[in-house]
Amino acid sequence: MAVQPIDAGRPAPTRTAPNRPALAAADPELAALVDAEERLQADTLRLIPSENYVSAAVLEASGTVLQNKYSEGYPGKRYYEGQQVIDQVETLAVERAKALFRMDHANVQPYSGSPANLAVYLAFLEPGDSVLGMALPMGGHLTHGWGVSATGTWFRGLRYGVRRDTGRVDLDEVRDLARAERPKLIFCGGTAVPRTIDFEGFAEIAREVGAVLVADVAHIAGLIAGGAHPSPAPHADVVSTTTHKTLRGPRGAMLLTTAEHAKTIDRAVFPGLQGGPHNQTTAAIAVALKEAAEPDFAAYAHQVVANARALGDELAARGFDLVSGGTDNHLLLADLTSKGVSGKIAAKALDRAGIVVNHNTVPYDPRKPFDPSGIRIGTPALTSRGIGAAEMGTVAQWIGLVVDAARTGDESTVSKVREEVRTMMEAYPAPGLLPA
Ligand SMILES: *Cc1c(COP(=O)(O)O)cnc(C)c1O
């Protein structure tokens, strides 16, 4: 396998010593790939709303000898000896999670967001039981009962959407569905939801029909921690979240619950679904939670939203059609139908220009999911680099130029924007990346 050239024509940065000397010596091929990814992350404008840059501290914690330990069970109740230190690591993460999200109980062991959600099904449902979640093409997640996911084949998935006129969830629709179908589980939250989630409204519906309410805040956990989005506590029975999106931790997940559901959720994660927890990840989650409790992080979370709002305004001023008309959080969903180009073609051209987004369906999309009408744009990663609202006009201008260029096949504009992106990125070094 050859390393893909990222910057044809640009010399590789010269180093006096490799950043990862042991890796470079043992496996130069793999080391070169990591170096290449590091450069790609340094000199592109990353607008994928689920991505971020973790701190150097989080990176260090996730690369530790904690990786060498097996610790099936929970602190104080393990199936392996030698847990004198690991128990303390996991307890730190659990206590920090409970304090930050103001929930009674936290389980920090789920390997990622999808297995965390599967554990929730295992905890509360029998195969064939009903689950009500947001439809995938409306902004929901696969694991909320969508058909191609195990959660939609082993369980009966019922779906709500967003209103065609507002692009927002209609709680009357959710309530009608819940009353008619009496699902055991209701999910709120999603992956392409640009608006605030009304946890209290969902909780009222769940209470009325006797369902367990799961707030899946994978995307917005960092905004909640920083006070830039309302909290699901005390409304949700279970809060499910990844730790690697706006929360800016390692790839992992957590399930937070009320005292009532603590044991059920713990049993579902282990031994129900998983074996040994990834202790190096638990350690890095603990570090990320400490960082997320600091005033700097609250400022970060608010800046993420301010940047998304500013970018939304600038895009709208350039004729972009934004689902729901804008954003309350970290992400924007742009319907490119009026621009005469598909989401995939636009996303590929933006990638060539060093602007990384993903193609995405928009609600009521007439196109197919592998080449939908929209692109999804988010501000968490650029905000971690210290890029502020004043730069959003430039970013929107680049997106506008490249989307037009994608339609007309104007590759020279794409190349010109690529150079401008590189120049801006040089002015805003990314956290956690080793110097070139
Ligand atoms: C990202 C995400 C997940 C899944 O997380 P993975 O770690 O990718 O498995 C679950 N739910 C929502 C709402 C998400 O955005």
Per DSSP, the residues of 205-225 read HHHHHTPEEEEE-TTTHHHHH
Which atom number of ligand 1 is nearest to the Cα of residue 251? 7
Nearest CA to ligand 1 atom 12: 218
90 in catalytic set: no
245 in catalytic set: yes
Find the 278 Cα to ligand 1 centroid distance in Å.
18
Query: Considering 35, 43, 216, 291, which one is annotated as catalytic?
Result: 216
Nearest CA to ligand 1 atom 3: 113
216 in catalytic set: yes
Alpha-carbon span 43 to 3, nearest angstrom: 17
Which of 143, 149, 187, 251 maximizes ligand 1 atoms within 8 Å of its Cβ, making it the mutation to test the pocket?
143
Q: What DSSP assignment string belongs to 85-98?
A: THHHHHHHHHHHHH
Nearest CA to ligand 1 atom 13: 190
Phi-psi region of 409 (alpha: psi -120 to 50; beta: other; left: phi over 0): left
Query: Considering 46, 168, 195, 245, which one is annotated as catalytic?
Result: 245
Alpha-carbon span 58 to 248, nearest angstrom: 9
Domain ranges of the chain: 65-292, 296-427
pLDDT at 436: 46
Nearest CA to ligand 1 atom 8: 113
Query: Considering 51, 60, 70, 78, which one is annotated as catalytic?
Result: 70
Find the 193 Cα to ligand 1 centroid distance in Å.
13
Which atom number of ligand 1 is nearest to the Cα of residue 217? 13
Phi-psi region of 82 (alpha: psi -120 to 50; beta: other; left: phi over 0): left
368 in catalytic set: no
pTM: 0.95
251 in catalytic set: yes
User: Does the domain made of 296-427 have the CATH classification 2.60.40.770?
Assistant: no
DSSP bridge pairs for 254: 241
Find the 220 Cα to ligand 1 centroid distance in Å.
11
DSSP H stretches of helix in 251-336: 262-267, 279-292, 295-317
Alpha-carbon span 380 to 431, nearest angstrom: 12
pLDDT tens for the chain, residues 1 to 436: 333 333 434 444 445 567 899 999 999 999 999 999 999 999 999 999 999 999 999 999 999 999 999 999 999 999 999 999 999 999 999 999 999 999 999 999 999 999 999 999 999 999 999 999 999 999 999 999 999 999 999 999 999 999 999 999 999 999 999 999 999 999 999 999 999 999 999 999 999 999 999 999 999 999 999 999 999 999 999 999 999 999 999 999 999 999 999 999 999 999 999 999 999 999 999 999 999 999 999 999 999 999 999 999 999 999 999 999 999 999 999 999 999 999 999 999 999 999 999 999 999 999 998 999 999 999 999 999 999 999 999 999 999 999 999 999 999 999 999 999 999 999 999 988 865 4
Which of 50, 112, 114 maximizes ligand 1 atoms within 8 Å of its Cβ, making it the mutation to test the pocket?
114
Find the 82 Cα to ligand 1 centroid distance in Å.
33
Record: fold of 65-292: Aspartate Aminotransferase; domain 2 (3.40.640)
Do the strands 374-378 and 358-360 form a parallel or antiparallel pair, or are they unpaired?
Answer: antiparallel
Same fold, 65-292 and 296-427: no
Pocket of ligand 1 (CB under 6 A): 50, 112-114, 117, 141, 143, 189-191, 216, 218-219, 242
Which of 242, 245, 329 maximizes ligand 1 atoms within 8 Å of its Cβ, making it the mutation to test the pocket?
242
Alpha-carbon span 59 to 55, nearest angstrom: 6
